Structure 1
Amino acid sequence: MNATMYAVRLGLSRGWFEFRHTLASSDQFFNVFTATGFLAVLWFQRDSPVEGMSLSLASMTLPSMLGMMVAFGGLVGPAGALSMNREDGTLLRAKAIPNGMTGYLVGRVVQTSLDALFSLTVVMLPGALLIGGLSGVGFDEFLYLLLVLVVGMLATLPWGAVAGSLAKSPQGAMGFTMLPMMAIISISGIFYPISAMPGWLQGVAQVFPVYWLGLGTRSAMLPDAAVVMEIGGSWRSLEMFGVLGVWAVVGFLLAPTILRRMARRESGADMEQRRHAALQRGVG
């Protein structure tokens, strides 16, 4: 086994171990708390019909939520973890080991993906039982849904790594990701059909992956009749995979270069300075 494959193997083990560790941490408590909030939204929407259709608003919202959660986890999760690992010295130690950065990045991808899967399960299973109306989702639709979610993760995860590399602190990483993401979600048709929004907002939303992820999950889980609520009355599957693919390709082209530059600049003095600043924030 060559050095790179060995690093990948260690990264897979590291990602699994870190995910198991988070199951007993406050991170998963936050995920469960957030999922409870999403389920509460579905509960209040369950009796609100979509105009001209037999579906409830909750039936439209649940698939969109799944896409939103993948985009949110792919961007915010890696950004926060990467910035924290810069502060606690994890990245500096990885840099000092041959192929250590490769193992670190593989581990981060594995943990992020497993975290996303856990969060999706917590929302999807009770959500489907709560609202009904998704009985038409068979094996083929499930595979298509899985494909959409995987492509969506690939489209957002490298940008989370970029944000974490550029941020000076975990708080800065949240500022880079959390606030812009909330603004994008609000215009992406996640909680209300995007076709009811002004045309210029529809155009802005279609630039970002969140809208396309929501569109893809809706196309996998909703009946064909629901397509009338979409822009142009079409699921636009080719455009959806195209836009997500562009975000993924550009992200994976940029992220390694930015990560390498960030790793080269890492030093013990910088880590100690960030640690001191974190202690000061804690005291303050």
Structure 2
Amino acid sequence: MSSISVLRAGVARGGIELRQTLTTPNDLFAYFFPVVILLGAIFFMRDAHVPGTSFSLGASTLPSVLGMGLAFGGLLTVSQQLVVEREDGTLLRAKATPNGMTAYLIGKAVVVGGMTVLSMLLQLVPGLFLVSGLHVSATGWLTLAWLIPLAFLATMPIGAVIGSLFENPRNMGLVVLPIFGLVAISGIFYPISAMPGWVQGVGQIFPMYWLGLGMRSVFLPDSLAAVELTHSWRHLETFGVLAIWVVLGLTLAPAILRRMARRESGSAVAARRERALTTIGR
């Protein structure tokens, strides 16, 4: 099968999954309930101000939340779906077809990317009515043009690696809690410049801080860069750190996923199902 055929198969698979997600109430609830919660938080923050300014903290937080959504789509959604579909045998069926794993991953990128962008729009459009002061300049649109693709490339491979390390969906809490910890120290809901120096250092290692910073640079006035570290939007550093994560993810993910796929078999899927039934029976 040629590369073009594999790409088409993956895109077609992703399109089917995307339509299924958009017509499944439980899936829609899982995507959109967090949107309602985040919009509620922004609403209650609208009258607070960024320290040292008269600018609304809610308006400053909304772009950060959009950046967090990009990170969650790549890290959490991909890893959770990979674990679930490993347990129910979807990965085994993909492995059994020529270039099936490649088409599977392309399809996953399509459905996760599509739902993440839709979730962003559902936060952004109502958010513009809740807070004021946001705008996008010509430079901001150019920033979005490289930031969003780089966000998916930086997070989805790492999400796939995380998902390949867990066989049981009930163990995903081991991933969720650390990621929410990163949210707390990444300047999403409160400026990272107000945190201790060592916390700032840890936060800047991971993509979430840089995605939040990049989104703030797109939607916030340039004067708000004064409350950021180094008092600038740091576009070059944002691109560089995300690029490092892209290289790291694309280097690790293929090898780890191939190793995981080699271990998949009918007996392995049956054993996981048996363990799941035993757990439910208890």
Shared fold (TM-score, shorter chain, > 0.5) = yes
d(CA) in 1 for partners of 2:101 and 2:273?
21
d(CA) in 2 for partners of 1:55 and 1:146?
26
Q: Deviations over 1:113-170 (max 9, x none)?
A: 0111111111111011210211x31344134224212211211110110011111211
- The aligned residue for residue 197 of structure 1 is 195
Secondary structure of residue in 2 paired with 1:154: helix
Secondary structure of residue in 2 paired with 1:16: helix
Counterpart of 1:164, as a letter, is G
Matches within 5 A, 1:158-177: 158-172=157-171, 174-177=172-175
User: Number of paired residues?
Assistant: 281
Counterpart of 2:18, as a letter, is F
Matches within 5 A, 1:139-154: 139-154=138-153
Conservation of the 8 A alpha-carbon contact between 1:145 and 1:221: no
Counterpart of 1:24, as a letter, is T
Conservation of the 8 A alpha-carbon contact between 2:137 and 2:218: no
Matches within 5 A, 1:11-30: 11-25=10-24, 26-30=26-30
Conservation of the 8 A alpha-carbon contact between 2:35 and 2:123: yes
In structure 1, runs of 5+ residues without a counterpart are: none
- The aligned residue for residue 223 of structure 2 is 225
- The aligned residue for residue 130 of structure 2 is 130
Secondary structure of residue in 1 paired with 2:177: helix
- The aligned residue for residue 82 of structure 1 is 82
d(CA) in 2 for partners of 1:182 and 1:70?
14
Conservation of the 8 A alpha-carbon contact between 1:165 and 1:259: yes
Q: 1:24, CA displacement in angstroms?
A: 2.4
Q: Deviations over 1:69-115 (max 9, x none)?
A: 11011001111111111111111111111111111111011111011
Over the residues paired in the alignment, what is the CA RMSD in angstroms? 1.3
d(CA) in 2 for partners of 1:95 and 1:225?
52
Secondary structure of residue in 1 paired with 2:189: coil
Q: 2:232 aligns with which of 234, 240, 244?
A: 234
Q: 1:52, CA displacement in angstroms?
A: 3.0
Q: Deviations over 1:182-223 (max 9, x none)?
A: 010000010001111111100110111110111111111110
- In structure 2, relative to structure 1, the CA distance for the partners of 1:42 and 1:146 (3 Å cut) is farther
d(CA) in 1 for partners of 2:51 and 2:71?
28
d(CA) in 1 for partners of 2:159 and 2:51?
37
d(CA) in 1 for partners of 2:276 and 2:222?
52
Q: Percent identity?
A: 49
Conservation of the 8 A alpha-carbon contact between 1:3 and 1:99: no
d(CA) in 2 for partners of 1:85 and 1:127?
34
d(CA) in 2 for partners of 1:281 and 1:11?
34
Q: 1:55, CA displacement in angstroms?
A: 1.3
- The aligned residue for residue 209 of structure 1 is 207
The two structures have a TM-score, normalised by structure 1, of 0.95
Conservation of the 8 A alpha-carbon contact between 2:83 and 2:163: yes
Counterpart of 1:166, as a letter, is L
1:68 and 2:83 matched = no
Counterpart of 1:11, as a letter, is G
d(CA) in 1 for partners of 2:99 and 2:206?
33
d(CA) in 2 for partners of 1:200 and 1:210?
17
- The aligned residue for residue 101 of structure 1 is 101
Deviates more, 1:236-245 or 1:25-34: 25-34
d(CA) in 2 for partners of 1:270 and 1:4?
30
The two structures have a TM-score, normalised by structure 2, of 0.96
Secondary structure of residue in 2 paired with 1:70: helix
- The aligned residue for residue 119 of structure 1 is 119
d(CA) in 1 for partners of 2:138 and 2:269?
49
d(CA) in 1 for partners of 2:280 and 2:7?
35
Conservation of the 8 A alpha-carbon contact between 1:187 and 1:202: yes
d(CA) in 1 for partners of 2:191 and 2:249?
28
- The aligned residue for residue 6 of structure 1 is 5
